[in-house]
Amino acid sequence: MTERVDFYARQAANRRWTWTLVLTFLVLAALVGLAADLFVFGSYRPGAGGFPIVSALAVAVASLQSVNAYFYGDRSILRALKAKPLNPMGDREERELFNIVTEMSIASGLTPPKVYVIDDPAPNAFATGRDPEHASIGVTRGLLEVLDREQTQGVIAHEMAHIKNYDIRTMTLVAALFGVVVLLADWSLRSLRYGGRVAGARRAGKRGGGGGAAGILLLLTILLMIVAPLLSRLVAMAVSRQREYLADAGGTEFTRNPLGLARALEEIASHHSPLKRATRGTAHLFIHDPLERKLDNREGFWADLFSTHPPIEKRVQRLRQMAYVG
Amino acid sequence: MSWILLALVILVAGYLSVTFNALVRLKQIVANAWKQIDVQLQRRHDLIPNLVEAVRGYMQYEQDTLQRVIEARAKAVAATGVGAKAAAEGELTQALGRLFALAENYPQLRANDNVLQLQEQLTTTENQIGFSRQFYNDMVMRFNTKQQVFPTNLFARMLGFHPAEYFEAPVAAREVPKVDLTLRRGSATPAPPVPPGQAEDAPRPGS
């Protein structure tokens, strides 16, 4: 018998993460707003009074965005990845995928998720949504072509485990709330490094005589530079490598066939082309890092801290141990 | 003194109602899981005549095997009750397995799109039967364990709960919980045809 995954404990942990992520996002928005109030518009001064109008606005917008991310985050992710709904009556591979998803929803006792296909030759798969009743699984065309039935079944079972765990909710929120922040932080660092544009904007702002848009831009840049490392640390903790190991074990509980997934992972890892439409904001959703980052293959403290995916060999080894052939 | 008694009564009543509700919920899940198996079995029964018709023309020398499948299906359709159904469906699984092993010897079948499609349909149905059985048995285990642990075992019967029956495959079928009936193109070595009557897996009803 394989090791049991305590799905209830994982669900509780993910509900806690939901709150942590949303609160962090609101605090971040409040900080940005407050900085603007204090230094750009002067609409609020400690002791002197005035109403922190920008902070209030920022928190309001962030709240709306949180609600939006919670309910519609999956849709924006699917759109960003150009995922198209699967046609259950399509070609042989598509019909087979549809059947496999049905099989896995029976094995897991969950409602069948919606299925999407991404037209990309790199074999990969992901799941998103907020709970098992509102879940989607996406696979690339490459995955359908490269993997056999048993391997695909292993991959789908892995994704169903993410769904049953409520991992999808945490992952989707990370992508929808912090994906943008991570990208912005990247962008601001780069624009500072390459100088010109931000400094130019600042000078233009000075000549224009008030803080205005350029001031906000500069402020945002500085704030992001301070907060970005902390944020990416938080995000890395939320999407820790542990999740992938647990989903591998959970998927095995559905198929009772660890070798199918092990062979699938080996096959997926042997293809090195990155997935074109994946970004740093969505990479953590996938079963295998679509950006093919080097950090994933390392072990140790720093890799555990910042990498979103464990080394494939380690996962395969654990799966083979479950099948008593390691 | 009466306060203590009252508190005790409330505590026991609370415990009983929580346990009762948990048992009811599990009973519903088990009943639902059983229905799920039933749906899959029904689908298998519906698919088999089509498949037999589709391959009959190619497999003229395998009338015995085809006949066995048809008979096993008829028996399975007629079976009622968890135990009897499990036994009859196990026989049907074996008969089908034999048919597909023999089908490997007929390369024309691999070129027939209709047959391939039916095969994928049957493969997924077989898997779905396997997985719904797996889910059903897991839930039965949870339901029965819940009834048998102390102190629930003292009053589970009183509340009208009885252990549910496992859906058990016959001994011979137990080794292969999942079936992949898709014809692997080319690579697989065809199984040597076994003369009818000498089949090693002759089903023993009720075993």
Closest among B87, B88, B82, B86 to B69, alpha carbons compared: B88
Confidence band, pLDDT 50/70/90 cuts, at residue A35: confident
Whether B129 and B90 have beta carbons less than 8 Å apart is answered as no
Number of independent structural domains in chain A: 1
Q: Which of B117, B121, B131 sits opposite A107 (nearest CB)?
A: B131
In chain B, which residues have their Cβ closer than 8 Å to the Cβ of A96? 120, 124
Which of B131, B177, B178 is the closest to A106 by Cβ? B131
Q: Residue A264: pLDDT band by 50, 70, 90 thresholds?
A: very high
Of A216 and A200, which is predicted with more confidence? A216
3-class DSSP assignment, residue A118: strand
Task: Please check whether residue A127 is in contact with residue A137, taking contact to mean a CB–CB distance below 8 angstroms.
Answer: yes
pLDDT at position B191 over 50? no
What residue has token string 């193109």? Answer: B185
Contact B89, B38 (CB under 8 A): no
Residue B193, pLDDT above cutoff 70: no
What contacts A277, CB < 8 A, 6 or more positions away? A80, A81, A82, A118, A120
How is residue A211 written in tokens? 């803080």
The domain ranges of chain B are 2-173
Higher pLDDT, B55 or A126: A126
Does the CB of A109 have a partner CB in chain B at under 8 Å? Answer: yes
Chain B partners within 8 Å of A92 (Cβ): 116, 120
Residues of A in contact with B177 (CB under 8 A): 256
Mean pLDDT of A240-255: 90
Q: What is the DSSP string of A119-165?
A: --SS--EEEEEEETTEEEEEEEHHHHHHS-HHHHHHHHHHHHHHHHH
**In whole angstroms, what is the distance from residue A83 CA to residue A125 CA?**
11
- pLDDT for res A297: 73
Q: Domain range spanning residue A232?
A: 1-326
Q: What does the pLDDT look like over B146-155, one tens digit per residue?
A: 888 888 888 8
Binned at pLDDT 50, 70 and 90, residue A69 comes out as very high
For residue B194, the model assigns a pLDDT of: 40
Q: Give residue B206's region: left, alpha or beta (phi > 0; psi -120 to 50).
A: left
Q: Is A111 on the interface with B (CB under 8 A)?
A: no
Give the pair of three-digit tokens for residue A13. Answer: 């942990």
pLDDT at A1 over 60: no
pLDDT of residue A193: 59
Look at the alpha carbons of A263, A269, A273, A274 in this order and tell me if their dihedral is positive or negative: positive
Q: What's the pLDDT band for A46 if we cut at 50, 70, 90?
A: confident
Position with higher pLDDT, B189 vs B26: B26
Distance CA A126, CA A155 (A): 9
Average of per-residue pLDDT across A281-305: 80
Name the residue type at position A117.
V
Q: Which helix (H) or strand (E) holds B44?
A: helix B2-56
Show which of residues 142-181 on chain A sit within 8 Å of chain B, judged by CB atoms: 149-150
Report pLDDT for A167.
Answer: 94
Q: Does residue B187 register a pLDDT over 80?
A: no
Q: How far apart are CA A85 and CA A2, in angstroms?
A: 34
pLDDT at A187: 66
Model confidence over A121-175: pLDDT tens digits?
A: 999 999 999 999 999 999 999 999 999 999 999 999 999 999 999 999 999 998 8
Query: With an 8 Å Cβ cutoff, are A102 and B134 in contact?
Result: no
Omega of the bond prior to A121 within 30 degrees of 0, cis?
Answer: no
pLDDT at A206: 45
Cα Rg for chain B, rounded, in angstroms? 23
Whole-number pLDDT of residue B74: 92
Nearest to A269 by CA among A323, A302, A310, A320: A310
Q: Starting at the edge strand that comes first in sequence, how are the strands of the sheet with A114-118 ordered?
A: A83-85, A114-118, A134-140, A125-131
Confidence category of residue A86, pLDDT binned at 50, 70, 90: very high
Q: Does A99 touch chain B (CB under 8 A)?
A: yes
pLDDT at A37: 82
- Quote the tokens at residue A2: 């394989």
What's the mean pLDDT in A69-82?
A: 93
How would CATH label the architecture of B2-173? Up-down Bundle (1.20)
Whether the CB-CB separation of B33 and B136 falls below 8 Å is answered with: yes
Q: Which amino acid is at A79?
A: R
| Tokens encoding A291 | 């950006």
A208-229 per-position pLDDT tens digit: 444 566 776 777 777 777 777 6
Higher pLDDT, A17 or A45: A17
SS3 A92: helix
Dmax over Cα atoms in chain A, in whole Å?
Answer: 73
Task: For the beta carbon of residue B143, count every other beta carbon within 10 angstroms.
Answer: 24
Give the pLDDT of residue A298: 74
Residue B201: its pLDDT value, please?
40
Residue B192 has a pLDDT of 42
CB of A112 less than 8 A from some CB of B = no
Nearest to A103 among B29, B33, B127 (CB): B127
Q: DSSP string covering A278-290, please? A: --TTTGGGBSS-T
Whether A106 and chain B come into contact, CB under 8 Å, resolves to: yes
Q: Which member of A99, A107, A109 has the closest CB to residue B124?
A: A99
Evaluate whether ipTM surpasses 0.85. no
B13/chain A closest Cα distance in angstroms: 27
Q: Which DSSP state fits B76?
A: H
Residue with tokens 């049905």: A102
Whether the Cβ atoms of residue B136 and residue B37 lie closer than 8 Å to each other: yes
A35's CB contacts (< 8 A; 6+ apart) are: A219, A223
Report pLDDT digits (tens) over B74-109. 999 998 888 888 888 888 988 888 888 888 888 888
Computed on alpha carbons and rounded to an integer, the radius of gyration of chain A in Å comes to 22
Q: Kindly state the percentage of chain B with pLDDT values over 70.
A: 81
Helix, strand, coil percentages (3-state) for chain B, rounded to 5, are: 70, 0, 30
What amino acid positions of A are annotated as catalytic residues? 159
pLDDT averaged over every residue in chain A: 84
Nearest to A123 by CA among A261, A317, A288: A288
Nearest 10 degrees: CA dihedral of A135, A140, A143, A146? 160
Q: What is the pLDDT of residue A183?
A: 67
Q: What confidence score (pLDDT) does residue B152 get?
A: 83
Model confidence, pTM: 0.80
pLDDT in tens, A108-118: 989 999 999 99
Residue A127, helix vs strand vs coil: strand
- A270 in contact with chain B, both atoms CB, cutoff 8 A: no
If you measure CA to CA, which chain B residue comes closest to A92? Answer: B117
pLDDT value at B118 more than 70: yes
